[in-house]
Amino acid sequence: MTQGQERVGQTKNDVIEVNNLVKSYKGVQAVDDISFTITKGHCFGLLGPNGAGKTTTIEIMEGIIPATSGEVLYSGKSIGKDISQQIGIQFQSTALQDFLTVQETLNLFTAFYDNTLPHAQLIELCGLKDFLDRDNRLLSGGQRQRLLLALALINDPDIIFLDEPTTGLDPQARRNFWQLIKNIKAQNKTVILTTHYMDEAEQLCDEVVIMDNGKIIESGTPNRLLAKHFQEVFIYLPKEQVPQELIEKHQWTIEHERVEITTQHVEETISLLIAEQIPLEGLQVKSPNLDDLFLKLTGHSLRE
C-alpha cells in the first residue's frame, strides 16, 4: 500500500483482515503483498481487470487455495476447517444438477450444512417463488443467478462472497440482482463482491480495493476516491457541431463520435461554447466514475 492510500476499514468492526498476502505461481506473482480489512455489514468490492489477482485473493480468503505467505483472519482468527460452514460463496460458474428443479436443488444443498435458513425465507429473499418447480436447465440467466445466490445463503452465513454475480445478465436482471444484494446487506451480512462493472461497484460497495498486476493500486470508499482523484467533470457534444479548428485549439478529445471537454468550470466552459456559437443541442455533462478512475490510475480501461 503506497503513501496516501486509505487502508479500508481498520476499526473494531473489522470482520476480515488480510495481511501481506502473497501468492506465487511458477513465474507469476498472482498476488503481490496486499493488505486490507473489511468492515462488518459492509459491501466490499474487489475490482480490477482480467488477471489482476482478484480470484486468487478471494480463493485464499475462502480457504480454497493456500497463500504462499501472509494471512487472512476472520474476527482475529486464522481460517479454520469449519470456514465453509461460516461463509457463503456464489461462484462464477457453479454446475447445477440436471433434471432437478429449483426446489429439489435447495433440498439437496440443505443436506450439506449443519444449520440452514428456512426455505420460505430463502425463497422470499431471493425471489424464487415463480420458478420453484422449474428444471435447472430451463432457468433464465437472472433466475439462475438468484438460485445460486440462494445456495450461497443456505447456511445463513454472516459473510457472503459473490464472484462476478451479474456477468452476462441483461440490464433489468442486473438491477433486480442489485436489489437482492441490498436486501442481504440490510440484514447486516458482510458482502464481498468481485466485478468488472464499475456502475455495480458504485451502486453496491461501501468500500473498494482496486487491484492491478497483483498489487493494490487504490482503496477507499467510491465517493472519497472520486473526490480525491477528480476535480473536473466531462462535457460532451456531438462531433459534427464543433469546428475542427476549435477542437485543436483547446486540445479537446474525440470519443465515440463526441467531443469530450474536461473542465473544472462548467459555467465558464458553456459560456465559451456559446461565445463560439457552437449549438448546445445534445450537450451532456458527466461526473467521473470508477471506470474513469481506473483509466486514470492504470492508463487502460477495466474491460480492455
List residues near ligand ATP by CB under 6 A: 25, 28, 30, 48, 50-56
Nearer to ligand ATP (CB atom), residue 38 or residue 126: 38
Nearer to ligand ATP (CB atom), residue 72 or residue 117: 72
Output the smallest distance, CB 293 to ligand ATP, in A: 17
Output the smallest distance, CB 156 to ligand ATP, in A: 27
Nearer to ligand ATP (CB atom), residue 55 or residue 90: 55
DSSP state letters, 2-32: -TTPPPS--STTEEEEEEEEEEEETTEEEEE
Distance (Å, rounded) from C-alpha 1 to C-alpha 21? 12
Give residue for cell 463482491.
193
The Cα-based distances of 85 to 135, 182, 276 in angstroms read 27, 23, 66
Output the smallest distance, CB 157 to ligand ATP, in A: 22
Nearer to ligand ATP (CB atom), residue 199 or residue 260: 199
What does DSSP say about strands 190-195 and 159-163: parallel, antiparallel, or unpaired? parallel
| Cα end-to-end span (Å), the chain | 25
- Determine what percent of the chain falls in helix, strand and coil, rounding each to the nearest 5: 35, 30, 35
Output the smallest distance, CB 114 to ligand ATP, in A: 31
Nearer to ligand ATP (CB atom), residue 54 or residue 174: 54
Residues 6+ apart with CB under 8 A from 156: 115, 116, 117
Output the smallest distance, CB 92 to ligand ATP, in A: 8
